[in-house]
C-alpha cells in the first residue's frame, strides 16, 4: 500500500492533558503529544494530521472526511470508547485501518471502562503506556500498512 498520510484523532477531554488527573494521564500537554507525533511521523516518512474534539459528531465527520485523504487512523476516543456506536460505525464504514490508543490501561480501571465499541473494528488496541501509547500506535499502524498485501 502506498503510504502517504495518517490521521490522529483525540477525543473528549484530551485537550486537558497535563492538567486533568496527571497521576493517571501524565503531565504532557496535547500540544506536546502532537509535536512528538509529528516528529515521529517525519522519521517514519509519513505525513500526519492531528485533530481533537470534545464532540462526537465532529469526530465522526473527521473519520468520514479521511476517505481519500489518509491511509490510516490512530484514535484515542476518550470516553466515547465506551459509549459511541456512531464512532464505531464511522470507522467500520470508511474501512480505513485504525489503531485505538489509550494513555491508561482501560482494563485495569473502573468496570465501565473495560468495554470498547472501537476495538472490534480496529486493527489493534494499545493502552496503558501513557503518551507512549500514541507513539507505539503510530509505529504499529505504519508497520501494519507497509505490510498489507497489494490488491
Which residues are known catalytic residues?
25, 102
What span, in angstroms and rounded, lies between the C-alpha atoms of 106 and 42? 29
Say how many C-beta atoms besides its own lie within 10 A of residue 150's C-beta: 5
Q: Contact, 104 vs 138, CB < 8 A? A: no
In total, the chain counts a number of residues equal to 151
d(CA 105, CA 127): 5
Instruction: Give the chain's count of helices (H) and strands (E).
Output: 5, 5
Nearest to 144 by CA among 124, 127, 129, 126: 124
Distance CA 121, CA 102 (A): 16
Amino acid at each position: 500500500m502506498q503510504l502517504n498520510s495518517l490521521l490522529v484523532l483525540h477525543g473528549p477531554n484530551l485537550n486537558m492533558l497535563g492538567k486533568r488527573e496527571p497521576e493517571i494521564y501524565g503531565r504532557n500537554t496535547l500540544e506536546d503529544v502532537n509535536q512528538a507525533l509529528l516528529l515521529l511521523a517525519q522519521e517514519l516518512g509519513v505525513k500526519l494530521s492531528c485533530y481533537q474534539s470534545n464532540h462526537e459528531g465532529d469526530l465522526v465527520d473527521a473519520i468520514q472526511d479521511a476517505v481519500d485523504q489518509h491511509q490510516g487512523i490512530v484514535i484515542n476516543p476518550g470516553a466515547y470508547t465506551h459509549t459511541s456506536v456512531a464512532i464505531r460505525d464511522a470507522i467500520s464504514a470508511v474501512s480505513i485501518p485504525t489503531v485505538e490508543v489509550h494513555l491508561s490501561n482501560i482494563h485495569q480501571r473502573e468496570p465501565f471502562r473495560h468495554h470498547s465499541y472501537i476495538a472490534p473494528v480496529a486493527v489493534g488496541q494499545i493502552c496503558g503506556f501513557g503518551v507512549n501509547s500514541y507513539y507505539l500506535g503510530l509505529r504499529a499502524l505504519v508497520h501494519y500498512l507497509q505490510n498489507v498485501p497489494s490488491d
